């Protein structure tokens, strides 16, 4: 499969939704449009690494993308994408950084994946039946600030909750734990699946200080 990337048309021509939903087979197609180490790493982050070469799934995904107008097929069967779908494809297949954010409550865990490439930064959230919703990150804030916004909004809605954040490219599997009480923040560091030990918490932090810790865990 090959890919044709074009710039997004002006809003006078098209009005795009705030979020685009993709089935997992559709994502396999996008990842294979520009296959390389970055695409493979993104597939692993999306829990699709084992399916990346499944021809039957890719055929189903291509059919779905074409049927709903998210891709075009040439006479030879080659696919092209444009606009937001091309931006999602570029982010996934050229990503230099993938940050997993877990949003915690007493009885649930929701995930957000921050995928960042030189051109585009997007958020991806898993939904039912292995589908994912993709949203553009605001271009007027840094990725670290965008990550903090996700955590802050979650803690505003779930004051007793928490969040964890880790850079998937970090071989040490270090993660940052974040909580909030009123205007005061608490963070701690721990290794994913590491030895069971008490996490050393830093209490009474301001939001700018939390942002500094987010930049540290992201290795910005």
Tokens at 220, concatenated? 């910005």
| Helix or strand run (H / E) with residue 216 | helix 207-218
**Model confidence over 159-204: pLDDT tens digits?**
999 999 999 999 999 999 999 988 899 999 988 766 666 678 899 9
Contact 148, 211 (CB under 8 A): yes
What CA–CA distance (Å, rounded) separates 113 from 47? 11
What CA–CA distance (Å, rounded) separates 55 from 61? 10
Give the model's pLDDT for residue 77. 80
Please state the φ and ψ torsions of residue 159, each to the nearest 5 degrees. -60, -30
Domain boundaries, the chain: 1-95+124-137, 138-218
**Model confidence over 47-76: pLDDT tens digits?**
999 999 999 999 999 999 999 999 999 888
**Model confidence over 94-115: pLDDT tens digits?**
999 999 999 999 999 999 999 9
What CA–CA distance (Å, rounded) separates 184 from 113? 26
| Helix or strand run (H / E) with residue 57 | helix 55-67
């Amino acid at each position: 499969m090959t890919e044709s990337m074009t710039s997004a048309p002006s809003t006078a021509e098209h009005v795009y939704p705030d979020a685009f939903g993709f089935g997992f087979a559709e994502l396999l197609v996008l990842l294979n449009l520009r296959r390389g180490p970055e695409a493979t790493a993104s597939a692993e982050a999306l829990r699709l690494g084992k399916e990346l070469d499944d021809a039957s799934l890719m055929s189903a995904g291509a059919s779905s993308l074409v049927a709903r107008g998210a891709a075009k097929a040439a006479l030879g069967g080659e696919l092209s994408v444009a606009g937001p779908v091309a931006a999602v494809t570029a982010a996934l297949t050229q990503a230099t950084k993938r940050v997993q954010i877990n949003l915690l409550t007493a009885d649930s865990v929701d995930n957000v994946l921050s995928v960042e490439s030189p051109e585009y930064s997007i958020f991806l959230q898993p939904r039912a039946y292995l589908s994912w919703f993709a949203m553009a990150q605001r271009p007027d804030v840094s990725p670290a600030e965008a990550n903090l916004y996700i955590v802050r909004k979650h803690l505003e809605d779930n004051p007793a909750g928490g969040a964890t954040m880790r850079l998937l490219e970090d071989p040490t599997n270090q993660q940052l734990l974040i909580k909030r009480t009123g205007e005061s923040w608490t963070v701690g560091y721990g290794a994913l699946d590491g030895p069971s030990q008490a996490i050393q918490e830093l209490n009474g932090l301001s939001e700018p200080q939390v942002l500094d810790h987010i930049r540290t865990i992201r290795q910005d």
